[in-house]
Amino acid sequence: MHLSSFLPSLLALSGMAAALAIPDPFLEARQSSPAAGVVYTKCTKPGLFALAFDDGPGPYTQELINTLNAAGAKATFFFTGTLYGCIYDRAAAVKAAYSSGHQVASHTWTHPQTLDSMSVAQLTTEMQKLEIALVNIIGVKPTYMRPPYLKTGGNVPTAMRNLGYRMITDSVDSQDWNGLSVSQSEQRFKSAGPKTPDGFGHISLLHETYANTVRDLVPRLITWAKQNNLKMVTVAECLGDANGAYAKGTGGGAQKC
């Protein structure tokens, strides 16, 4: 057989080899993205600061969004379904957070104290009830969650891995929940410094349900971040996952709690 008859096959094989040698950026992004069922406490890059708020939506959510937007800061809202009233009754604030480019994430439906002693089935119900509500309100479901009371033991990792959630705690706790004054909370951030001991950015723990946190502490932290040349970003962006904060989900059902 003439050599020319082999050329198409050789070229095809060569093309396949070249294709195999070319990195697939989408595959690499999936492989390098934060893993479900794993706890993340800090950013994966320096120079970033993730403001992250628990327990809303509450009476100060819109006010907080306005403050963040005016400062050009992005933040993450770990919302619940029923802790400060029904999430459907505060749907406008949830939509405002999402449409402003802040990250909407899960803090469970009822904020149970016994999260780490619940069964996988119970945990799944807690997460999916909030998923349905968020799909109804903003059209997508989150892929990030912060467990109430930072309880990451028991069946929590298994349930979150099954559901595709990354678990977030913190590297700096404002302790606004523990009766600290605004000045004392601010000092905790100053003492921690603009980066973790190993040089990465902080993920904070704050609560949007306290007026003093929203109206006094947050402006101080924005000033502190700017003085230290920190970019205020969402938790997903802080973990190098800016496009992976949400997934498709199914809504429906009665829109009430």
What pLDDT score was predicted for residue 206? 98
What pLDDT score was predicted for residue 33? 81
Model's pTM, two decimal places? Answer: 0.88
Strands 231-232 and 166-168: unpaired
What pLDDT score was predicted for residue 71? 98
Please list the helix, strand and coil fractions of the chain in percent, rounded to the nearest 5, in that order: 45, 15, 40
Strands 144-145 and 75-79: unpaired
Locate tokens 């006010």: which residue?
63
The set of catalytic residues is 54, 207
Break the chain into its structural domains and give their ranges.
37-247
- CATH pick for 37-247 out of 3.40.50.2300, 3.20.20.370, 3.30.420.40, 3.40.50.10260: 3.20.20.370
What pLDDT score was predicted for residue 118? 98
What pLDDT score was predicted for residue 223? 98
Locate tokens 């309100």: which residue?
137
Alpha helices in the chain (DSSP H): 7-21, 25-32, 61-71, 91-99, 120-138, 156-163, 182-192, 211-212, 218-227, 235-238
| Stretches in the chain below the pLDDT threshold 70 | 1-32
What pLDDT score was predicted for residue 232? 98
Contact assessment for residue 139 and residue 103, using Cβ atoms and an 8 Å cutoff: no
